[in-house]
Structure 1
Amino acid sequence: MVFPNLKFEDFLHPRPKPTGIDVQCKLQHFAIITYAIDPACFNDIIPPRFKLDTIEYQGKEQVLMSVVPFINVDFSSAVFPFPNFSMGQTDYRVYVIDQHTQERCVWFLGTTLDSWTLIVPRYLWQLPWQSAVFNFECHQDEYGYYKQYKMQTQSAWANAELQLTQSKDDPWNYTGFPDLESHLVYLTHPLAGFYHRRDGKLGTYRVWHDRLQLKPAQLLHAKFDLLDRLNWVSFEDQLNPYSVLIEPINEFTIYLPPQVIQ
């Protein structure tokens, strides 16, 4: 299979004006730890409307799945004066194509959140979000590279441990893509997310952000209970990710409320 060339110029667009309860936030210590997985793992999860956005990797058709931890800082209304919140979060997502629109997007397998505000997405909007307690210990050098990136999550649904380090010499890996830009568009620029709501219905929401500026890093340790429990990636294989990327901070707009697709 040949993966198409993707160009940021075809995906970047001005920010749609926020209204209502739309949210503006900065995501600090934003990391994307990605694994190449057998697409069959998701046969019973992804609805027929979507197809997995696969690549050829190590002689097989594979789909990429990412663990995305970060700290929400300055989480607040994008429209009205409102208190700011800070909270740890990790998204578990796999990359798909919406066959109704041909848009490249992500399927959210679930999210952990460290905040009392979880009651809104979990119970009001029925998002597949779970309670967690986070601890980040991150230190950067004078050039902004991470001398230490440690994250630990305590959660009944998805305990996690992660340790990364970074230098200017860390190599890029974009095997399976025609070039680095295609790889970065795929991993960093899906603006629509879909998921099974807690009531079983199909839900979606959209975000906007400018081009992200992630750089490669090295994984020293990872232990994601969810990936091992569901037989997606064993603890042993979690130590050999497809790629690891970090950006110290970026800015997102989240368009709310999420929508239910009938």
Structure 2
Amino acid sequence: MTFVGTPRPRPRWYHAHTDLEDFAIVSYRVDADALARHLPEGFAPMETTFGDGPGALVSAVAFRDRDFHFRFLPQVAIDCGQINYRAYVTAYGQAGVWFFGTRLDHPVVAIPQHLWGMPWRRDHIRVEADWLSTPAHWRLSSTDARCEAVELPRPPMPLDGFPDDSHWLERLTHPTQGWYQRRDGRVGVYSIWHPIMRPRHLEATFARFPFFERLGLITPDTPPHSVLAQARIPFDIHTPPHRLHPEPQAQRATEA
């Protein structure tokens, strides 16, 4: 089976667009029951069978936004570092990611934080990479996270927990819907689109993500499950997010 991605929804004037540079998905294997305790009712971890037993996955996704802008205001664009902390879940018959939180290195963080009630915070973030060196290397440093990784001489065959490339490409690189807990306690939802990623496989030489440690999902010496990285990829963000209405979604899933 070859993963073919998803069709691109027609961009709307109120959507946002950005190019993500020095993009990397640093994933960790975690206990599914421990992860489930952090999810709201109706949400469940997507469990995976690894070589030595079952589990689930969470990821820190770090990159540099390049020319992030709303389509109705292209002349106002920002460049900054960003880290998304997410888990792979299902909710009401749909697969996607649960966003624990986001860190952004720009004052515009106030828009998602206060206008949309999203769990975003300001942080100093530096993401850099050298894609031309042999091996290529990638580095993240922020107030609350640090990771250094180098490209593997060859991709793992297969990636632990997945029968083939199509399965991990879809799960780890192509979730198009995300949920989060709003400041008012309700669940918010939004979606994105991007072309199929062609990530390179890296290995972490050092990694600390205290965000996940405080949730009790990993320890300081837990090694990442994988590091998938790409030099640049365009993203559509279907702003604004909205509140989740689970009953109609659950009914539609039942009817289907």
Give the structure-1-normalised TM-score: 0.87
Residue 231 of structure 2 corresponds to residue 248 of structure 1 = yes
The one-letter code sitting in structure 2 at the alignment partner of 1:19 is: R
Runs of 5+ unmatched residues, structure 1: 1-5
1:153 to 124, 130, 142: 142
Residue 42 of structure 2 corresponds to residue 49 of structure 1 = yes
CA contact (8 A) 1:96 1:104 kept: yes
1:119 to 91, 110, 121: 110
Q: In structure 2, what is the equivalent of residue 225 of structure 1?
A: 210
Residue 241 of structure 2 corresponds to residue 258 of structure 1 = yes
Q: Give 1:135 shift.
A: 1.8
The whole-number CA distance in structure 1 between the counterparts of 2:98 and 2:108 is 22
Give SS of 1:73's match.
Answer: strand
Give SS of 1:122's match.
Answer: helix
Structure 1, 220-229 or 40-49: larger mean CA deviation: 40-49
The whole-number CA distance in structure 2 between the counterparts of 1:146 and 1:260 is 44
Give SS of 1:257's match.
Answer: coil
2:20 to 22, 27, 43: 27
Q: Give 1:103 shift.
A: 2.4
Q: In structure 2, what is the equivalent of residue 3 of structure 1?
A: none
Q: In structure 2, what is the equivalent of residue 184 of structure 1?
A: 169
Q: Give 1:167 shift.
A: 4.7
Q: Give 1:17 shift.
A: 1.8
The one-letter code sitting in structure 2 at the alignment partner of 1:190 is: P
Runs of 5+ unmatched residues, structure 2: 246-256
Q: Give 1:7 shift.
A: 4.8
Residues 129-168 of structure 1 aligned to structure 2 (within 5 Å): 129-141=120-132, 147-154=136-143, 159-168=144-153
CA contact (8 A) 1:36 1:65 kept: yes
Q: Give 1:173 shift.
A: 4.8
Q: Give 1:43 shift.
A: 2.7
CA contact (8 A) 1:114 1:133 kept: yes
Distance of aligned partners of 1:173 and 1:245 in 2 relative to their CA distance in 1, 3 Å threshold: farther
Distance of aligned partners of 1:137 and 1:8 in 2 relative to their CA distance in 1, 3 Å threshold: closer
Residue 221 of structure 2 corresponds to residue 236 of structure 1 = yes
1:84 to 56, 59, 77: 77
Structure 1, 67-76 or 159-168: larger mean CA deviation: 159-168
1:204 to 173, 186, 189: 189
The whole-number CA distance in structure 2 between the counterparts of 1:171 and 1:261 is 38
The whole-number CA distance in structure 2 between the counterparts of 1:7 and 1:200 is 39
Give SS of 1:104's match.
Answer: strand
Distance of aligned partners of 1:256 and 1:40 in 2 relative to their CA distance in 1, 3 Å threshold: same
Q: Give 1:168 shift.
A: 4.5
Aligned residues: 245
The whole-number CA distance in structure 2 between the counterparts of 1:118 and 1:172 is 39
The whole-number CA distance in structure 2 between the counterparts of 1:62 and 1:201 is 27
The one-letter code sitting in structure 2 at the alignment partner of 1:108 is: F
1:95 to 78, 88, 98: 88
The whole-number CA distance in structure 2 between the counterparts of 1:23 and 1:67 is 22
Q: Deviations over 1:16-70 (max 9, x none)?
A: 1222321010000110111110011123321232221111124332111111000
Give the structure-2-normalised TM-score: 0.89
Q: Give 1:172 shift.
A: 5.0
CA RMSD in angstroms, aligned pairs only: 1.8
The whole-number CA distance in structure 1 between the counterparts of 2:155 and 2:194 is 25
The whole-number CA distance in structure 2 between the counterparts of 1:178 and 1:201 is 36
CA contact (8 A) 2:207 2:224 kept: no
